[in-house]
Structure 1
């Protein structure tokens, strides 16, 4: 796998990217370039799992779906792997989900590269038309919710420990930052 990635000449096409298949690393495609990151930390996975537990019943009640770590096509040649999404009905056997089916995208901010989630992906998700963007701080559980306005996101709310995020779109749910974090 590593040889296939680093020995590749020139920009990557979407077809070449998809031909890599499943990998133990998180491999994303951004306009001909690959971004490769190792598997997430246990803290990251705890947060993702707890979000899934909270959002899944709410999504089901709204006729939507919650999915973790899927290939998300924002446009041809641009396929990130967000930590969590809430989607409309989709084909569960497709390798890639189109952004038009996504109502909310969530990223758990990587301490090693926070600008990827706070700037790059935020910009790309807004351009793709995804209505809601949720960012989660790994250390504090702080939740930053953004609503799309035009081609960018505006901050809708910040929820800190001791507070509760009350979502009304795309699902009705309450997220407690304390619950997301591992026990101390």
Structure 2
């Protein structure tokens, strides 16, 4: 068992060091999933519009000690996963350390993923599973390609690697974000693909 743990720690350190040194094309993100580094293409304009609307809504209701960030490396080291959520809310003192060091996903207050055609499946499954295992207390999935139409789902109450609660609404309906946010997120301005 101890040998396996050391090998796993060494593999994760190697992956993390490689991730830090990558020079991805501008706008692209690199994430780690299943022991592999993956390139994620830049988001489209509609994706960015949604991210900006959520960002503004959150900033209006947060204290100065908490920040909303894009492109922040977020690791779940024991699962050898590293994601870069579209938006993440975290205490800004956690960013005072080493440059380009990912933060631990368990320190996140809210992770937001906005699907694209190429990432929808991973956002709905692997990231949902990973965030629940971290555990990230709130995961907001903006699913532009859901069937029968675009939806917003808030996952909460993670326990034993699964979220205990979820609220799903179609674009246009508000979704309640509990404390520390305590806001009703208006989705009526989210562009439909």
Q: What is the TM-score with the length of structure 2 in the denominator?
A: 0.78
Q: What is the TM-score with the length of structure 1 in the denominator?
A: 0.82
- More contact order relative to length (CA 8 Å, sep ≥ 6): 1
Contact map agreement 1:67 1:84 (CA 8 A) in 2:
yes
Pair 1:104-2:104 in alignment: no
1:145 maps to what in 2? 154
Moved more, 33-42 or 150-159: 150-159
* 5+ long unaligned stretches in structure 1: 1-10
- The alpha carbon displacement at 1:120 in A equals 0.5
Across the aligned residues of Structure 1 and Structure 2, the Cα RMSD in angstroms comes to: 2.5
- The alpha carbon displacement at 1:22 in A equals 5.8
Contact map agreement 1:142 1:177 (CA 8 A) in 2:
no
2:6 maps to what in 1? none
Map Cα deviations across residues 70-111 of structure 1 (whole Å, 9 max, x no partner): 111111642111101111232256312221320111100122
Instruction: Give the aligned length.
Output: 173
Q: 2:70 aligns with which of 63, 68, 71?
A: 68
* 5+ long unaligned stretches in structure 2: 1-11
- The alpha carbon displacement at 1:50 in A equals 0.8
Runs ≥4 in structure 1, deviation > 4 angstroms? Answer: none
Q: 2:133 aligns with which of 123, 127, 133?
A: 127
